[in-house]
Amino acid sequence: MVDTIKKNIKAVQENLFSSVGSSILTIVTSYLVLNFFRGMFGFVMTSDKDWLSVLNNMQLYMVQAYPEDDFIRVWLSVGLTFVFAGLSIGLWRSEDRSNVSVMFDRLFKAGLGLLFFTIVAPTYTSYMGNDGFVITEEVFSSSSRLRILIPTLVITVGFFILKNLKINFSYNNSDAVFFYLFIPVALIWVVKLPTIQLDQNRERIIPDPLMPIANSTKIPWTIIFVSFLVSYFIGMYLKDKKRVKNVMSISWFLLPLLIFSWIFKKPQIDMGEVLTGDIPIFVIFFALGLATVLLINNPIFKKYFSLYLGVLAVLTIGGLFIGIPMLGKVCLLLLSLFTVVVPAVSTSKEGKRSLIIIWFVALVTLTFLLRGGASETGIVVPGSSIFGGFSLTWLLAIFGTYVSFPLGVLLALGRNSKLPIVRIVCTGIIELVRSVPYITWLFFASVTLAVFLPAGVEFNLIIRVLMVTAFFSGAYFAENIRGGLQSIPKGQYEAADAIGMSPFQKTGLIILPQALRAVIPTLVSSAITAFKDSSLVTIIGLFDFLTIGKTVIDNQSIPVNFVGHQRENLIFVAIVYWIFTFTLSRRSMKVEKRLGLGER
Amino acid sequence: MSKKAIVSLLVLAMVAVACGGSTDDAAEEVVEEVAMTTLEEVQARGFLKCGVSTGATGFTEVGDDGSYSGFDVDYCYAVAAAVFGDYSKVEFKQLTAAERFTALSAGEVDVLIRNTTWTQSRDTELGNDFGPTTYYDGQQLMGRVSDGLSANSTLADIDGLKVCTNAGTTTEKNITEGAGLVGATITLVTVEAFSEAIDKFIAGECDIVTTDGSGLVGRRAVNDALNDWAIFPTSPISKEPLGPTYRSNDSQWADIINWTVYATIIADEYGVTSANIDSVDYDAAPELGRLFGKNDGELQTKMGLSADAYYNVVKQVGNYDQIFSRNLNPLGLYREGGANDRWTNGGLVYAPPAR
């Protein structure tokens, strides 16, 4: 015991007060931090803040005007994500174990921090009153301070004892996730929150009565929690099946597309169009792909293969401007890409069979998603965008990453290509996109893009913004990835050539995996930037998460007046942004560690 | 063969693209020649596209379930009720001050009801026309009573004070001009949005805050500062008539919007509200009979609307007084004694007769 204290004192001396300079620094910084905390605490607690302006507008923050009757679709999206997360955690269940006493140590430290901040929190705070004189208000009475202090002290001491008992019990890190989720789900059943209630004269009842959380929130979350648990066990059961893992990885990629084209959207399907349009196109393209795979070893076909590829390329680009259905255009593009990989993979019978399966599944998925995505939506909202708020921020962030990442890889490879035309086009796109500010591109999407599209083609504003965003972050991804490509020593290329790899094998198996691994930190920071930049869409009239907090809520006067409560909402928005970006960067650090970045 | 073939094919493809592009342009031009009137376009589309503000308390608000409400929003509903007989057939497009006129002239919205001040240059230079004024506003100043200011203060009293306002608007020009005329020296602090100006005012960083009177009264009521803050001068330093805006050269559409506003005003003159409209005695009030299409609906059908178009407006949205009090009374803005009172009470709200 005495030893520990001595050790700690020594550590403090060494780290904080080692010289005169560092002592001054320590004192000045801790003074600044303390003052910031006290100011913040006083600001949050003063009686002129209405934190219910945040709580009361949760629905607006999440989906904006999305109709309540269709909320089942929102819950389905959230639920599907949790089910997939449960399956993945089960499938990739780590064998890492943590000791209970390590956790107790952390909790003890957190308790100490809480104790410290409860003690230093200010009792009084002052702010400027309406009449121009400073008002001093009690924000943290000594009785409420004691009410927090005593239980915290008891719990902290408890953790201190538990920690020093050195209990030899460890738990699996993956299992702990379910425990972390259990706490909030259990809490929503017991916690009561202040809620805005109106009396007969439609006046707000003050103080706000405490009400339990509505069943429409509690029940979906509980169901989601249970399905998360079930899928976790299913995932654990299927742990050794490699194929399931592959399917899971692809499903993660398709999940957002499925959510946005079928679940969020409520597509109105015209069966006649499906029968006369989609099914014939599907059959034709499946037959073409099948023929390519089967004929690839035929000497006559081999001779004319590059010509066939060229014709496909021409048709793909030309097809964009002819009046063929959207599905036809996308299928042409997919067929060209597929034909490029066929010679490399279809060397064996096994390879051919899996190629055919992949082709079939890819076409089915494509037709399905495109039909949902291109259909009219059955959801009626008063504004011009189907949803706003956090859903829109997420949509832009996910697509900013999902669509632009592959695009970035292609652009980066194209820029390093030996074919001059490919190189020039890719360099041109990258330089053009990067040299114009994002806001300008947004205005381009909102005002000018319609001029460049073929006649009769009209996209929703959100889709236009997504197209521009994909190219914008794609160009930045491309430059990051090019950095990775250049870091690969020439010997790697030569070695791949020496063992007779084809250019595609060389790129896919040797170069890209190393290049991407090298640029993970920059890629993550690009993704975070895309997430935060999504708030710029406010200038073209889309309502993202930040705009709701900054502009919309600050203007509400009916039935409850929230005018002048912008700052509370901005703090809330900042915290939510911070939680997401912080989680993202911590996750990426774990991935780096697992890939051994900087160690090899 | 392979590389050369691919390159030449790509070039071919580009030529094809160029050709395809030019034929598309030709097709577009043909389409544009058969232009529809705004009314036909709106009716074919099935809903009205109405340009509103991104947020103006009392005028355009978004509720906690994403629904729209407010004085301007109600006039959007009124136009939809006149055109479709169903007030809910509106798609709101929230526009910033910078993009509102571009959006209108590009056809992204059919009508702009976005607390837009009617000025000569906007009327003549931008290809817009303005409808009847729905709200008479004017720029005023707000200061603290503890600084010796009262409702009777004038611009000369702000000599040497710090004035906060939002940048790039006519508000800024008006106050500089006004203060210069009376010889008052002021320090102008410009911020991006009005809410920031108010925050600075509350924090004591500026002594005066200035914007349209409706905004000042609203904020004073919200902050419970009726006795602490004074709004002056009594007659505003600028005129800000706010009303609907539409594209020039489509008088049918202009008439529809204008008479939608007039219908709400006439209904108010007769005291007809959405509650009592079904018990109106049309023989005693033949003007109402004509306006609501009960005795004779020819006036409306000549405009391309159904005979009961304005009946629907008052029935579904309400008369001027209802729209005003529903949205602006909670903010402390009242009609009585102001410019927005009935003309019979000395106000400016007046409509030509329906006959």
ipTM, two decimals: 0.82
CA dihedral over A568, A573, A574, A580, signed as positive or negative: positive
- When CB atoms are compared, the residue of A128, A322, A384 closest to B204 is A128
Question: Mind telling me how many Å the CA of A91 is from chain B's nearest CA?
Answer: 39
B321 plus B333 within the same structural domain: yes
The verdict on A230 and A297 lying in the same domain is no
For residue B43, pLDDT beyond 50: yes
Residues of A in contact with B90 (CB under 8 A): 382
The answer to whether residue B319 is domain-embedded is yes
B350 occurs within a structural domain:
no
pLDDT at position A597 is 59
Question: Is the domain of A230 the same as that of A298?
Answer: no
Average pLDDT over residues B158-183: 86
Mean pLDDT of the region A363-369? 89
**How close A224 comes to chain B (CA, Å)?**
23
Which of A182, A202, A235 is the last residue in one of the domains? A235
If you search the block for the tokens 């999440």, which residue do you land on?
A62
Burial A483-509 (b: 16+ CB within 10 A, else e): ebbeeeeeeeeeebeeeebeeeebbee
pLDDT at B131 (0 to 100): 94
Is residue A14 included in any domain, yes or no?
yes
Tens digit of each residue's pLDDT (9 = 90 or more) over B295-327? 777 888 888 999 999 999 999 999 999 999 999
Banded model confidence at residue B21, pLDDT cuts 50, 70, 90: very low
- B128 in the same domain as B193: no
Interface test with A, best of B22, B25, B52, B54 (most A CBs within 10 A): B54
According to the model, what pLDDT value does residue A150 have?
93
Q: Tokens standing for A591?
A: 């991935």
Closest-CA residue of B relative to A451 is B25
Instruction: Examine residue A60 and state whether it is found in any structural domain, yes or no.
Output: no
The reply to whether A580 falls in a domain is yes
In chain A, residues with a C-beta closer than 8 Å to the C-beta of B58 are 557
pLDDT at position B25: 41
> What average pLDDT does this structure show over A448-452?
74
Residues of chain B positioned with their CB less than 8 A from the CB of A324: none
CA angle (B67 as vertex; B64, B71 as ends), nearest 5: 110
Using the 3D structure, point to which of A235, A262, A280 is the last residue of a domain: A235
pLDDT tens readout for residues B254-295: 999 999 999 999 999 999 999 999 998 888 888 998 899 887
For helices A142-164 and A100-120, the axis angle rounded to 10 degrees is 160
pLDDT above 50: residue A47: yes
Long-range (24+ apart) CB contacts under 8 A made by A266-275 are A266/A70, A266/A73, A266/A377, A266/A378, A266/A379, A267/A371, A267/A372, A267/A373, A267/A375, A267/A376, A267/A377, A267/A378, A268/A375, A268/A376, A268/A377, A268/A378, A269/A371, A269/A375, A270/A375, A274/A371
Residues of B in contact with A419 (CB under 8 A): 3, 6-7
Query: Residue A91 falls within a domain, yes or no?
Result: yes
On chain B, the residues whose CB falls within 8 A of the CB of A451 are none
Examine residue B131 and state whether it is found in any structural domain, yes or no.
Answer: yes
Instruction: Enter the tokens of residue B268.
Output: 């108010």
Please indicate if any CB of chain B lies within 8 Å of the CB of A384: yes
- B82: in domain: yes
- Closest alpha carbon to A328 in A292, A271, A277: A277
Q: Among residues 8-37 of chain B, which lie with CB inside 8 Å of chain A? A: 9-10, 12-14, 16-17, 20-21, 24, 27-28, 31
Distance CA A414, CA B64 (A): 48
Where does a domain end: B232, B261, B283? Answer: B232
pLDDT of B15 > 70? The answer is: no
Q: Give dist(CA A381, CA A264) in Å, integer.
A: 13
Cβ separation of B58 and A557 shorter than 8 Å? yes
Question: Is some CB atom of chain B closer than 8 A to the CB atom of A457?
Answer: no
Contact status of A306 with chain B (Cβ, < 8 Å)? yes
CATH classification of the domain holding B173? 3.40.190.10
Question: How many domains are there within chain B?
Answer: 2
Give a yes or no: residue A193 inside a domain: yes
pLDDT single digits (tens) B61-118: 998 888 899 999 999 999 999 999 999 999 998 887 777 888 898 888 999 999 888 9
Query: In this complex, is the C-beta atom of B145 within 8 Å of any C-beta atom belonging to chain A?
Result: yes
Question: Is the Cβ pair B218, A563 closer than 8 Å?
Answer: yes
User: Which chain A residues have a beta carbon less than 8 Å from that of B63?
Assistant: 60, 556, 558
Contact yes or no for A59 and B65 at CB 8 A: yes
Asked if pLDDT for residue A458 goes beyond 70, the answer is no
Instruction: Tell me how close the Cα of B165 comes to any Cα of chain A, in angstroms.
Output: 16
From CA A213, how far away is CA A191, in angstroms rounded?
A: 7
- Distance of alpha carbon A278 from alpha carbon A281, whole angstroms: 5
Q: Assess if residue B18 is contained within a domain.
A: no
Express each pLDDT in A141-198 by its tens digit. 889 999 999 999 999 999 999 888 888 888 888 888 888 899 999 999 999 998 888 8
Query: Is B331 a member of any domain?
Result: yes
Range of the structural domain that residue A450 is part of: 244-594
- Choosing from B182, B214, B232, the residue where a domain stops is B232
Looking at the fold, whether A263 and A175 belong to one and the same domain comes out as no
Residues of B in contact with A306 (CB under 8 A): 1-2, 5-6
Report the Cα A597 to chain-centroid distance in Å.
Answer: 23
- Asked whether residue B71 falls in the same domain as residue B121, the answer is yes
Q: What whole-number distance in Å separates Cα of residue A401 and Cα of residue A523? A: 9
Q: Which of A56, A320, A551 sits opposite B54 (nearest CB)?
A: A551
Q: Give φ, ψ of B308 to 5 degrees.
A: -95, 25
Q: Which residue of A has its CA nearest to B197?
A: A564
Q: What is the mean pLDDT of chain B?
A: 86
- Is A55 a domain residue? no
Q: Where residue B18 falls among pLDDT bands split at 50, 70, 90?
A: very low
User: How does the average pLDDT of chain A come out, rounded?
Assistant: 87
Among B204, B232, B260, give the residue marking a domain's end: B232
List of chain A residues whose C-beta atoms are within 8 Å of the C-beta of residue B7: 419, 421
For residues A461 and A384, is the Cβ–Cβ distance under 8 A?
yes
The kind and range of the H/E element at B81 are helix B71-84
B320/B246 same-domain check: yes
Residue A165 included in any domain: yes
pLDDT band, residue B28 (cuts 50/70/90): very low
Looking at the structure, tell me whether residues B123 and B154 fall in a common domain: no
Total number of domains in chain A? 3
Tell me the shortest Cα–Cα distance from A132 to chain B, in angstroms.
7
Stated as kind and residue range, the H or E segment containing A42 is: helix A20-45
| Interface contact flag, A321 B27, Cβ < 8 Å | no
Residue B180 lies in a domain: yes
Q: Does residue B185 fall inside a structural domain? A: yes
Give the β-pairing of B187-191 and B61-62: unpaired
Are B76 and B132 members of one domain? yes
Q: Confidence band (pLDDT; 50, 70, 90) for A257?
A: confident
CB-CB under 8 Å, A382 with B54: no
- Cβ-Cβ pairs closer than 8 A, A with B, add up to 164
Is A52 a member of any domain? no
**pLDDT confidence bin for A103, thresholds 50/70/90:** confident
A467 and A339 share a domain? yes
Last residue of a domain, one of A235, A252, A274: A235
Q: Which domain holds residue B297?
A: 39-136+240-345
Residues B274 and B328 in one domain: yes
CATH of residue A379's domain is 1.10.3720.10
Q: Residue A558: its chain B contacts at CB < 8 A?
A: 61, 63, 69, 327, 330
Same-domain status, A197 and A315: no
Asked whether residue B189 falls in the same domain as residue B328, the answer is: no
State whether B132 and B163 are in the same domain. Answer: no
Query: What DSSP line would sit under B148-177, residue for residue?
Result: T--TT--GGGGTT-EEEEETTSHHHHHHHH
Question: Do A455 and B31 make contact, defined as CB atoms within 8 angstroms?
Answer: yes
DSSP state of A510: I
pLDDT value at B46 more than 70: yes
Question: CB–CB of B146 and A66 under 8 A?
Answer: no
- For residues B121 and B53, membership in a common domain is answered with yes
Residue A391 reports pLDDT greater than 80? yes
Are both B268 and B214 inside the same structural domain?
no
B184 with B207, same domain: the answer is: yes
Q: Do A181 and A275 share a domain, yes or no?
A: no
Beta partners for residue A425, in sequence order: none
